[in-house]
Structure 1
């Protein structure tokens, strides 16, 4: 007898149901459901394929369960509506974005560790997908992990979702019925369900031997799962009166089977192996196993993330990534056994069955050996503890007085050393701060003299407008130097303002020989830099580059601020360079003085720090532009061993 698919709902066999009514002309059940957005009754929702042999399942207790599920869905609907996700198109255009991953906890697929962190096969596959997007497309993807209830509740939310960037992770099997309602990625791992019985049951050689036992047994399963499908096929094909009891989790089913010899059920092969490793004593039958297309990520039907997820799973690097993840959580032997390509026809009844049987024996033997070793260690430990306690009582009385004396002396010395260290650190910090402030407030006297000469030149030329503008801009520049000179750090935007004043002043002096441009994206404005740190590379470009030649060609200076490698990069480039560096020697000496002062500042700042400011600069080669690059870590006073000096 074939089974018609049941639509998945949030907490039951279908969409959240309140009442069941049967048409006298049609054995198919018509169901009233709750709309998750409005919580009003929707009389149009129906279960398709509610076979007659499932009628005993519709009991009053089951109806109560459905009402509770409906109430739970209404309570969660407002929270789900607030989930923010982005489409792949939006993320690719912006260069960054957010997706949401809904999950249900089950080890080893996804679970919370003792350190309160998420882990598991599916969690790491999603993290690897994030890294793939960053590496291939240079896109920063944020993943919001949301624990979204039961297995079937997640599928309901995915199916009804309007947001494109939603993913469902709960070791979902790809089935034709589900494919009609949601989108699946390519399978990341094979999906094999094995038949599990109590350890006291014999090993059945044929399916007929096992099915003859069905009248004396009770089946255990979960709602809306492939394990339920397998049970219902047995029920329909061999014993329609088979009792079926539902539990909420695979490990709960396995523990119940361990305790009750008259129960059985289906579980995924990987769950069964982990259960053996956890010490749950059940028996896998080598008959009536089932295999499907595989486990996969679930997405809304219209999601534009599916092609990208499929691209990741079909990439050359994915098999090694997935195999490594499976080996991490299930072991290398299990990886070789379970992680085979989804197109392979091997099942648990062939060669893989022999390998699995061998692995099962190894796990059981290992657990027995571990138990024996633990018992022996426990007995030995008891004897050792008794002897140690006796010796400890004797030695403690002798050493107690000496210990108290040493403790008092050690405490006194430690306090003195701590005080000396604190004073030393405070003096070092004050000294570092003082030296930094002295260096950063020193303006090159050559620039000051040139600026005063320029003012004199404008006055003699009776150019009042330019004179007043120059004096005003010069005063603004000096005010910023004095104001920021006493700060340990300023924002990149403030640094840009200083550069604009400086280059404007130099532009007034050299007219057509100098053009400049400063580029700074908005995401760099609030970054921290040392005051006046970019002034020296600009002076180097101007006086050792552009003004070191006697050509009249237009020179240019480009200053570009950008985020890079966890810090801020300032790139100062200039040109053109004819290769004839025969300009005034005073210009080059002026630039060398500024370079020496900046190098002293950087050496002082970098001392004792892990994240150091890097400066790459050099003489331009003939025909090429000269480039100077400053990389500044963010935060400026971060995780290095040196602390931020107090202003």
Structure 2
């Protein structure tokens, strides 16, 4: 690696791991892929919402997680395969999921949102997704003191008098509304600001339940929170990184992810962040 190239990569990683700001909705921007490819260098911006195992600040206050490592691999891919260098900026909004989405939707050019974001047809109307970088399990969870639900038809009995917590405009909300319509018309729903808040809200509220992502359940288990998962109600979702509709970066992202998610390096990253057993569940090589 050339000396100048190495220096730029070091600067990029330093920004990635340390440079964050705190604010509300803001107009983010970055260079187009067309301009970046033409000049051989470009400016990109990432924004994120903290998610256990996926993207979070470690004990040293630096960004870590699966999304961060995949981004690093993407930057190396651009350099080695495309002969392109990037200068990276990092913007951290507050932890409101909808503000995070709005910042990406209203952005310009090379701006990418990193988090556990489910790919849906509705969202595709207002933002672009990369191809999936992982397949997630969304789990039906509750406070541990509630009886175990073995059949969705028994929800009115097992979850009688309980409150369902969810995040507005999320796939969690959509799943709960479908369960409410099909099985539990009297379901009471309350909203929290983010998926990170959700699992703790369930843990501190004895008569509560909701849908949570696989990484939050792993975190709850590691921290011995009073949360349990039920054997029914799980769904599978594809996660992707997001960008504004005006972005032309999707093609090069998809080219990278198509190769990378089929590699041994990718499998090792999943094991690094989730552990071998959970990684096997996500890769479909192990049973629950």
Q: Same fold (TM over 0.5)?
A: yes
1:299 alignment partner in structure 2? 243
Residues 312 and 318, structure 1, Cα contact 8 Å, conserved in 2: no
Residues 133 and 139, structure 1, Cα contact 8 Å, conserved in 2: yes
CA RMSD of aligned residues (A): 2.0
1:333 aligns with 2:277: yes
TM-score, normalised to structure 1's length?
0.39
1:139 aligns with 2:84: yes
Query: What aligned pairs does 1:602-617 form with structure 2 within 5 A after superposition?
Result: none
Q: Which has the higher contact order (CA 8 A, sep 6+)?
A: 2
1:115/1:160 Cα in 2 relative to 1: closer, same or farther (>3 Å)?
A: same
Query: What aligned pairs does 1:622-633 form with structure 2 within 5 A after superposition?
Result: none
How many residue pairs were aligned? Answer: 265
Candidates 44, 52, 66, aligned match of 1:99: 44
Query: What aligned pairs does 1:266-277 form with structure 2 within 5 A after superposition?
Result: 266-277=211-222
Candidates 112, 118, 124, aligned match of 1:179: 124
1:158 alignment partner in structure 2? 104
Q: Distance in 2 between matches of 1:96 and 1:211?
A: 58
Residues 183 and 299, structure 1, Cα contact 8 Å, conserved in 2: yes
1:323 alignment partner in structure 2? 267
Residues 109 and 120, structure 1, Cα contact 8 Å, conserved in 2: yes
Residues 152 and 183, structure 2, Cα contact 8 Å, conserved in 1: no
Residues 56 and 63, structure 2, Cα contact 8 Å, conserved in 1: yes
Residues 119 and 240, structure 2, Cα contact 8 Å, conserved in 1: yes
Q: Distance in 2 between matches of 1:211 and 1:323?
A: 41
Between structure 1 and structure 2, the one with the greater Rg is: 1
Moved over 6 A (4+): none
1:223 alignment partner in structure 2? 168
Q: Distance in 2 between matches of 1:188 and 1:128?
A: 12
Residues 274 and 330, structure 1, Cα contact 8 Å, conserved in 2: no
1:308 alignment partner in structure 2? 252
State the SS of the aligned residue for 1:272: helix
Residues 199 and 216, structure 2, Cα contact 8 Å, conserved in 1: no
User: 1:245 Cα deviation (Å)?
Assistant: 1.5
1:212/1:305 Cα in 2 relative to 1: closer, same or farther (>3 Å)?
A: same
2:199 alignment partner in structure 1? 254
Residues 139 and 230, structure 2, Cα contact 8 Å, conserved in 1: yes
User: 1:104 Cα deviation (Å)?
Assistant: 1.1
Q: Distance in 2 between matches of 1:245 and 1:131?
A: 43
State the SS of the aligned residue for 1:266: strand
User: 1:215 Cα deviation (Å)?
Assistant: 3.7
User: 1:202 Cα deviation (Å)?
Assistant: 2.6
User: 1:185 Cα deviation (Å)?
Assistant: 0.5
- 5+ residue gaps, structure 1, are 1-74, 341-350, 357-647
Residues 87 and 305, structure 1, Cα contact 8 Å, conserved in 2: yes
What is the CA deviation profile of residues 392-439 of structure 1, one whole-angstrom value per residue up to 9, with x for unaligned ones? xxxxxxxxxxxxxxxxxxxxxxxxxxxxxxxxxxxxxxxxxxxxxxxx
User: 1:180 Cα deviation (Å)?
Assistant: 1.4
State the SS of the aligned residue for 1:310: helix
Query: What aligned pairs does 1:460-471 form with structure 2 within 5 A after superposition?
Result: none
Q: Distance in 2 between matches of 1:257 and 1:155?
A: 24
Q: Distance in 1 between matches of 2:281 and 2:261?
A: 20
